[in-house]
Amino acid sequence: MVLIGVIATAIGIPLALIIPWFPAEGSIQAGNIRTLYHVLIIATVPIFVLVETVVLFSVWKFRMRPGQEEMDGPPIHGNTRLEVVWTAVPAILIVSLCTYAYTVLRANEANKQGAMTVNVTTRQFAFQFGYPQANGKQILSPVLYLPVHQPIVFKLRSYDVVHSFFVPSFSEKIDAVPGIVTTLRVTPSALGTYPVECTELCGAGHSLMRSTARVVSPAAFEQWLRAQPTNAPPPIGSPPPNVNEAVPGYSPGGSSSPGGSSGASSSAGASSTSAAAGQAVFTGDAGCSGCHTLAAASATGTVGPNLDIRLRADCAGAASKPIRGATLQQCIRTAITKPYAYLPSGYSAGIMPSNFAQRLTSDQIEALVNFLAGAAK
């Protein structure tokens, strides 16, 4: 049994360690968590295979044979030494592993010298990141920019319900709870673009509540920060070109295909209401492709109306025109900002987020209108 256990352990540990359990590693904390996880695997695989070996061996060796139906084993009155051993060994193991895990989590949450504060404000269904400035004002952004190797303290707040702020590549997550400020510490350790997700079921648009974390060099971060207006509404514009870029080794459920939109989007400025910018909003910030089908955006969602089939046809309908406007552009604008003013047949109110007028800038909405008017068949 011991020999079988040793062989199974020798096979099991490398097998368990070879599995890529974690997405691309983006923070010092993620490295600590990964090491902790690997230690737990190395400690638990031998126990698991040894227990299973004993169980399977006993089932085979001491199984009931024909004619033994009425028989019983010899009475057992306990074995003190055995009981002490099987209580003490697991107790020592569990206490050691818990102590180690506690130490790692404490270190991850420890206050780091020179940490920079980033305010994370959540609401249905968007994140906003605030960078407090020396003059008491704050720079706001819908995308999380972080300088690499800089310890960060996130202060989380919620305007409405419980949300959660999760960056898988940082291996750190915490709830944003209305009425209190929660704190999370992360030190980004690798340049890259990582998904930010809400992981608390927070309403109909929960699955669309996503953002992007961009870890950049300190110089690039300073440059980005200086380019932002203070106390302005979120300077969303068109999202960064690689906002939908897949992180190596990480697949968030395969919702949107990379390359559908990202490459073509321009970097804001005069073209922020262009159809190309609208496509980036469609697949990016607004999250339309999660629910709608639209060939022009490689979107295949089935929650809401199929825009290839329903958009132009419904807007041309006699029932829609008095409510949503006579032109296709007016109709699309109303459908985005007041989705329940007119409900396409077969769809009910309460599914499509009704706060796009607040969530998106007017430029983003115009860009969406231009994009959809051109894409509607």
Site of interaction with ligand CUA (CB under 6 A): 125, 163, 198, 200-202, 206, 209
Q: Which is nearer to ligand CUA, 210 or 310 (CB)?
A: 210
Q: Which residues contact 38 (CB under 8 A, 6 or more apart)?
A: 17
**Contact assessment for residue 115 and residue 185, using Cβ atoms and an 8 Å cutoff:** yes
Q: Which is nearer to ligand CUA, 205 or 339 (CB)?
A: 205
Locate 55 and state its tokens.
Answer: 């169980």
Q: Which is nearer to ligand CUA, 198 or 332 (CB)?
A: 198
Q: Which is nearer to ligand CUA, 324 or 359 (CB)?
A: 359
**Contact assessment for residue 239 and residue 274, using Cβ atoms and an 8 Å cutoff:** no
Residue in this structure with the two tokens 């902790």, named with its chain if needed: 36
Q: Which neighbouring-strand residues pair with 121?
A: 128, 157
3-state secondary structure of 66: coil
Residue in this structure with the two tokens 């060796």, named with its chain if needed: 61
| Least CB distance to ligand CUA at residue 198 (A) | 3
Q: Which is nearer to ligand CUA, 109 or 160 (CB)?
A: 160
| Least CB distance to ligand CUA at residue 287 (A) | 12
Q: What is the CA radius of gyration of the chain?
A: 28
**Contact assessment for residue 196 and residue 213, using Cβ atoms and an 8 Å cutoff:** yes
**Contact assessment for residue 23 and residue 247, using Cβ atoms and an 8 Å cutoff:** yes
Report the C-alpha gap between 100 and 121 in whole angstroms: 33
Locate 129 and state its tokens.
Answer: 């990141």
| Least CB distance to ligand CUA at residue 197 (A) | 8
How far apart, in Å, are the Cα atoms of 257 and each of 245, 254, 261, 298? 9, 7, 9, 8
| Least CB distance to ligand CUA at residue 182 (A) | 14
| Least CB distance to ligand CUA at residue 123 (A) | 8
Nearest of 144, 151, 116, 152 to residue 128 by alpha carbon: 144
Q: Which is nearer to ligand CUA, 177 or 276 (CB)?
A: 177
Q: Which is nearer to ligand CUA, 284 or 353 (CB)?
A: 353
| Least CB distance to ligand CUA at residue 353 (A) | 11
